[in-house]
Chains A and B, each alone.
Chain A
């Protein structure tokens, strides 16, 4: 069952990603990307990261992609116009680079993790079951990784200010 769901979501993610990068209309690309995010959220669930699956849907699909669509609409780029894909040379380079990269990464997959780092199977699933999905992530976040957490909030503040200033019309 799990395997079946896994292949379903994986296939959906990959197909959606491919369609995303090849559509002429920016809106279509954005929507296909949303679909990719949903599929990945499903994969997260299958990998015992329940909280992250929810956050993925909420933040990525719900906030970031909405922002993208807002900007597309704002700049009136929605209609499918003349293609902005590169010519045959560009496609050739892109294709070759993509294939090589995929190949290399697939080969790197074969790296064996050192034995002392590997936890017994099912540790994370048990943690999630015992503490609940949110607490499982929240405890390390607010204990071990407190400082990065605070810095992240500062960074968000900077991003807000920057975005407002950059996008402002000169009055």
Chain B
């Protein structure tokens, strides 16, 4: 009997139901009373806040009960098909509760921010409906007890992502960004599904608890099957969590409203991949090659995305590539077997990245307001149009500096501890396999670049002279309290978040131990020598400070020109600005051939040629032909009929003769 039975954990289904009801109510209001913003706000924010409160209660229950095994609550039997028995079941354990708190907590803050940010948008009710639906699906994902249920959540958040990215669907480019996100995710989802099929074929079950128990016995360590499963699962993660080669949708996803970028594409949905690897850690522990691939791809993505971020001018694009890069760190963490480190970084990143996005949202909100007054149609998100905004938006500037220091890795802010733990784990593994030294190196250089581009962002936005324009300047002002309050709350979390897993105290590590113990046993945990630990920590600080200092030295915000006046980029800078032309590459290599194939082969060739001409028209022609032959019998001549009659009679007589 699980110690959680009979506690608040029994109500875990309610955490999903509340935001879902919020979706239904807000959806109805979108049709019936789109102007009633007050009711929408209350339902929208309230449902998520209530879910968070319930999450806290469940957390306290888990804290008190110390369950060694997950508490699975079956709601109903979903698909009983012969050997395949899938139930709609939810799982309460240390990992899922952790994610529950992050999703509902950060989610509630972002909902509150949206009240101010989207206040003047005509689609207000629809926005909150979608946002609530997203929270519901994300909770299904993190609270799922089996792969299929998780997949429902996985697809559901993909759907909400599509709906929210293309929220302003009148703009074709924005709608297409939503479509791009959905299609690229689909590729990853195929990997996930095939992995599910393989898991069922090999283990006969899809429930997490049963899979974790069966896998070490039934799957050969390092064998083809388990490696395939792990790699296919990682393909799904690469899609959802924007790793190479499927990251291309995330920068385009910035077309959606900024709070959406904060919630979905920073704090929650994109972390689903990391969560999946942590949840399915038994497979990655059994397949060292796959785990190495995860870490390698993560490391490569760190460096690749960070380099692109160096030269982007759109403030949200910088943050988007930063997110891709930081997700790479998380995958390095879970790839080297440091699941706690990866999850730790997930939580801290949720705090400071959400803060950065919301802060940029505050800036964009102010810029829009200013341009609205002057009726100019300039890009409110281009940093070259900003500058010196620290004077106009002091609160936003301060909290964003907190987040910048955190992401750069300055102690004692949250990002320092989490990033450092990941790099330490990678370096330690290097002792077994030099490959991981390279992983560490990528991570370290990535940290340098992170510090650099984030400082660049702050300098160009908040410092130096203001480039917005004389007409607009009087209208730049700080955002209202409903928007700044969540910013401050997130800043506090960013500062204190490091306490979750301080070195040697390792609170989070002990918390997650029941979940990660099995993987640690299979893969074998390595201990770092203490001197190494402090040495690397010091190195990390040096790198962070160096990055910031370099940015301050080399960049001259005063010399920036507005986009209209700026000269075109050349050389390597141009390549970075154009994000290594990866989208163009995909277009040429994949999309165009696919379109050509569809148009020429599938449409003209097979559909029009074979099916229409041979199949449909052909069968009609055949029928006509047969009918023509048949009509030849209807001559109207009695003579012909008599002949046929006689032949038939002769045949009957033959039959009679046979019977004799």
Bound pair (A, B): yes
Q: Which residues of A contact B (CB under 8 A)?
A: 86, 90, 93, 97, 100-101, 104-105, 107-108, 110-111
Interface pairs (24), CB distance under 8 Å: A86-B639, A90-B639, A93-B643, A97-B643, A97-B646, A97-B647, A97-B650, A100-B650, A101-B646, A101-B649, A101-B650, A101-B653, A104-B650, A104-B653, A104-B654, A104-B657, A105-B653, A107-B657, A108-B653, A108-B656, A108-B657, A108-B660, A110-B660, A111-B660
> Which residues of chain B are near A100, meaning CB under 8 Å?
650
Tell me, rounded to whole Å, the shortest Cβ–Cβ distance linking A166 to chain B.
Answer: 18
Bitwise, B626-660 to A at CB < 8 A (1) or not (0) is 00000000000001000100110110011011001
A108 CB contacts on chain B under 8 angstroms: 653, 656-657, 660
Q: Which residue of A lies closest to B643 (CB)?
A: A93
Bound CA span A110–B657, Å: 10
Residues of chain A within 8 A of B643, CB atoms compared:
93, 97
Q: Complex: how many Å from CA A129 to CA B4?
A: 116
CA distance A97 to B643 in the complex (A): 9
Residues of A within 8 A of B657 (CB): 104, 107-108
Chain A residues lying within 8 Å of B639, measured Cβ to Cβ, are: 86, 90
Minimum CB–CB distance for A107 against chain B, Å:
6
Q: Which residues on the B side are within 8 Å of A107 (C-beta)? A: 657
B-side contacts of A93, CB under 8 Å? 643
The complex places the Cα of A110 from the Cα of B659 at a distance, in Å, of 12
Residues of B within 8 A of A110 (CB): 660
Complex Cα spacing A100 to B654, Å = 10
A158 CB, min distance to chain B CBs, angstroms: 23
Q: How many A-B residue pairs have CB under 8 A?
A: 24
Closest chain B residue, CB of each to CB of A111: B660
B417 to chain A, nearest CB (A): 104
Q: For residue B168, give the distance in angstroms from its CB to the closest CB of chain A.
A: 82
Residues of A within 8 A of B649 (CB): 101
In the assembled complex, which residues on chain B have CB atoms less than 8 Å from the CB atom of A104? 650, 653-654, 657
- Bound CA–CA A90/B647 (angstroms): 14
5 shortest interchain CB distances as A-B pairs: A104-B653, A97-B646, A100-B650, A107-B657, A101-B650
Please indicate which of the listed interface residues A90, A97, A105 has the most CB atoms of chain B within 10 Å of its own CB: A97
- Chain A residues, Cβ within 8 Å of B660: 108, 110-111
How far does the alpha carbon of A108 sit from the alpha carbon of B646 in the complex, in Å?
A: 17
Closest CB in chain B relative to A48 CB, distance in Å: 28
Min C-beta distance of B637 to chain A, whole Å: 11
Residues of B within 8 A of A90 (CB): 639
Q: Which residue of B lies closest to A104 (CB)?
A: B653
Complex: how many Å from CA A107 to CA B653?
A: 10
Chain B residue numbers with a CB within 8 Å of A105 are: 653
Known: A90-B639, A97-B643; 11 extra A-B contacts, CB below 8 A, are A93-B643, A97-B650, A100-B650, A101-B649, A101-B650, A105-B653, A107-B657, A108-B653, A108-B657, A108-B660, A110-B660
Q: Tell me the minimal C-beta distance from A15 to chain B in angstroms.
A: 23
Nearest Cβ on chain A to B544's Cβ, whole angstroms: 105
Distance, CA A93 to CA B647, complexed state (A): 10
For B639, B643, B647, B653, the residue with the greatest tally of chain A CB atoms inside 10 Å of its CB is: B653
Minimum Cβ distance to chain A for residue B308 (Å): 88
Chain B residue nearest in CB terms to A100:
B650
B573: shortest Cβ distance to chain A, in Å? 93
Most chain A beta-carbon neighbours within 10 Å: one of B639, B647, B650, B654: B650
What A residues does B646 contact at CB under 8 A? 97, 101
Q: Which A-chain residue is minimally distant from B646 (CB atoms)?
A: A97
| Residue in B closest to A110 when the chains form the complex, CB atoms | B660
Q: Shortest Cβ distance from A45 into chain B, in angstroms?
A: 30
Q: Report the minimum CB–CB distance from B611 to chain A (whole Å).
A: 44
Q: Cα distance A46–B643 when bound, in Å?
A: 35
CA distance A86 to B638 in the complex (A): 13
Report the nearest A residue to B652, measured CB to CB: A104
Least Cβ–Cβ distance between A108 and chain B, in angstroms: 6
Residues in B with CB closer than 8 Å to A111 are 660
Instruction: Give B243-289 interface residues, CB cut-off 8 Å to A.
Output: none
How distant is A104 from chain B, measured CB to nearest CB, in Å?
A: 4
Residues of chain A contacted by B656 (CB below 8 angstroms): 108
How many angstroms from the CA of A90 to the CA of B637 in the assembled complex?
13
Complex: A100 Cα to B650 Cα, angstroms: 8
The CA-CA distance from A110 to B646 in the complex, in Å, is 22
- Per the bound structure, the CA–CA distance linking A121 and B127 in Å amounts to 109
Which residues from chain B contact A97 at a C-beta distance below 8 Å?
A: 643, 646-647, 650
Cα A107 to Cα B656 with chains together (Å): 11
A108 to B653 CA separation, bound complex (whole angstroms): 9
With the chains together, A108 CA to B654 CA distance in Å? 9
Q: How far is the CB of A97 from chain B (nearest CB, A)?
A: 5
* Chain A residues closer than 8 Å to B653, beta-carbon distance: 101, 104-105, 108
How far apart sit A170 and B660, CA to CA, in the bound complex (Å)? 55
Residues from chain B with a CB closer than 8 A to the CB of A86 are: 639
The closest CB in chain B to the CB of A112 belongs to: B660
CB distance from B217 to the nearest CB of A (A): 79
| B647 partner residues in chain A, CB cutoff 8 A | 97
Which residue of A is nearest B654, CB measured?
Answer: A104
What is the minimal beta-carbon distance from B642 to any residue of chain A, in angstroms? 10
Give the nearest-CB partner of B653 in chain A: A104
Shortest beta-carbon distance, A124 to chain B, in Å? 26
Min C-beta distance of A50 to chain B, whole Å? 32
- Shortest distance from the beta carbon of A120 to any chain B beta carbon, whole Å: 26
Closest residue of B by beta carbon distance from A86: B639
Q: Shortest distance in angstroms between A36's beta carbon and chain B's nearest beta carbon?
A: 21
How near does chain A come to B203, taking the closest CB pair, in angstroms? 73
CB distance from B632 to the nearest CB of A (A): 15
B86 nearest CB across to chain A (Å): 70
Nearest chain B residue, comparing its CB with the CB of A94: B643
Q: Which residue of B lies closest to A93 (CB)?
A: B643
CA distance A111 to B646 in the complex (A): 22
Interface centre among A93, A104, A107 (most CB of B within 10 A): A104
B106 to chain A, nearest CB (A): 94
Q: Which residues from chain A contact B650 at a C-beta distance below 8 Å?
A: 97, 100-101, 104
Q: How far is the CB of B641 from chain A (nearest CB, A)?
A: 13
CA gap between A74 and B205 in the complex, in Å: 97
Complex Cα gap A111–B656 (Å): 11
Report the separation of the CA atoms of residues A107 and B659 in the bound assembly, to the nearest whole angstrom. Answer: 12
Bound form: Cα–Cα A51–B653 in Å: 32
* A104 CA / B643 CA spacing, docked (Å): 17
What is the bound-complex CA distance between A93 and B650, given in angstroms? Answer: 13
Contacts of B654 in A (CB 8 A): 104
Smallest CB–CB gap between A11 and chain B, Å?
Answer: 26
B654 → A minimal CB distance (Å): 7
Chain A residue nearest in CB terms to B656: A108
Complex Cα spacing A83 to B210, Å: 97
Q: What's the minimum C-beta distance from A20 to chain B, rounded to whole angstroms?
A: 18
Residue of B nearest to A90 (CB): B639
How many angstroms between the C-alpha atoms of A100 and B643 in the bound complex?
13
State A108–B660 Cα separation when bound (angstroms).
8
| Distance from B580 Cβ to chain A, minimum over Cβ atoms (Å) | 83
Closest to B649 in A: A101
Question: In whole angstroms, how far apart are the Cα atoms of A122 and B196 in the complex?
Answer: 94
Residue of A nearest to B647 (CB): A97
Q: What is the CB-to-nearest-CB distance from A145 to chain B, in angstroms, rounded to a whole number?
A: 27
Residue of B at shortest CB range from A105?
B653
Q: How far is the CB of A125 from chain B (nearest CB, A)?
A: 30
Assembled-state Cα–Cα distance A121/B75 (Å): 94
Contact residues, B490-532 vs A (CB, 8 A) = none
